[in-house]
Homo-oligomer: A and B are copies of this chain.
Amino acid sequence: MGKETLQKIAEVRERLRQLQRQQTASNNGTASAPPAPVIDPPPARPKIAEMSAEVVDSNPYSRLMALKRMGIVKDYEKIREKTLIVVGVGGVGSVVAEMLTRCAVGKLILFDYDKVELANMNRLFYQPHQSGLSKVEASRDTLLHINPDVEIEVHNINITTINNFKLFVDRIRHGSLSNGQVDLVLSCVDNFEARMTVNTACNEENQIWIESGVSENAVSGHIQYIEPGKTACFSCLPPLVVASNIDEKTLKKEGVCAASLPTTMAIVAGFLVQNSLKYLLHFGTVSNYVGYNALADFFPTQEILPNPQCDDRFCRQRQSEYREAQASKPKEEPVVEEEPAIVHEENDWGIELVATDEDLPAASNSNATTANAGLKFAYDAPAANGTDESAPSDAPPAKAIDLSSLQAQLKGL
């Protein structure tokens, strides 16, 4: 870059600073007037046609492609063929989108209908100058600046209305780079209704998705992998959350807000994207459920099998299809990977730590005996009513959760 250009940039920078000083002065030192958007730097590198493993400072992909040489991932560059939908780009979803962008995913489709506010600044990703912008548009600007190789499609809408739901289903079905079904849907929303909407659409479209959540006291969170017909869907039984006594209803008052921390949100985003990468690129083991209790650094895991009496008829249909597919196959282990995973030494352990009652003190919550210690259902359930005799022969074993009796409560919400 020539001296003349550098000189021009210095001039522009100085002019921007002057404007900023004027603006700060006109805001009169109060925090109550969020400043309007100032500027996003334009894309700072040209597009790159092919991912290279060359080890030079100017290659943004050298550290990703090194995963191949390390024996972790067989074909890292396949990431560029993948399309993911991220529903909700708040404290978790925006970080999820940034991670996927830096990992060089092919295409991201973002849904949100909220605006950036200064009150969001205690979490990663958004910056104060973006206050007032729609979250999806602010995200697109930043993500394209970070990595112009990623295709970003944004929808500034609430997916829970009827018309928007149709659009959401259409994007699941036709959103990929080749106008086919997307590879994965990631739910990063903060309310029950939106999660149920994602669930309904994914059961209908037979779409694998991963749900995530962070508690309103900011110190716990979870991710849950949902494969229609094979694992519990979000409607099969009350959502499983890391135990906490906060009553969600008490938080929905005027003048009251949930607590949040950038740490917990980034950890949950990390778990979500890590499991997405494992699923998309066929390495390691995709977890069914990972919880995080920040106060104790405790990570409960859980297998959650589907409820044969699930209210969602598409869920029941997927279960039936899954049973038929399993019955027609020779004996097969229910693993998530559809292609053989690369074998490397960490996997030799085959470790999946599941807390048992022997390891841990009994939890006081009345439902805790049906879930692993450290986990509880998001709302109360009636007393356990014994084994469901009507369950088919491949119904959940004793260890997994099978609580069709809880389903009625879902309707009441």
- Residues of A whose CB lies within 8 Å of any CB of B are 1-2, 5-6, 8-9, 12-13, 15-17, 19-20, 22-24, 26-27, 29-36, 38-46, 48, 55-64, 66-67, 69-72, 95, 98-99, 102-104, 117-119, 121-124, 127-129, 131, 145-147, 216-220, 243-246, 255-264, 266-267, 269-271, 273-275, 277-278, 283-285, 287, 290, 293-299, 301, 344-353, 355, 359-361, 363-364, 373-374
Contacts and interface: CB of A to CB of B under 8 A. Distances in A.
B121 A346 contact: no
A72 B246 CA distance: 11
B48 A31 contact: yes
Q: How many copies does the complex hold?
A: 2
Label chain A's interface by main secondary structure.
loop
B290 A301 contact: no
Given A17-B42, A128-B146, A293-B346, A266 B269 contact: yes
A43 to B, nearest CB: 7
Contacts of A287: 297
A258 B58 contact: no
A133 to B, nearest CB: 12
A125 B407 CA distance: 43
A265 to B, nearest CB: 8
A267 B26 CA distance: 40
Nearest to A286: B297
A98 B9 CA distance: 27
Given A98-B124, A117-B57, A41 B9 contact: no
Contacts of A31: 45-46, 48, 58-60
B63 A217 contact: no
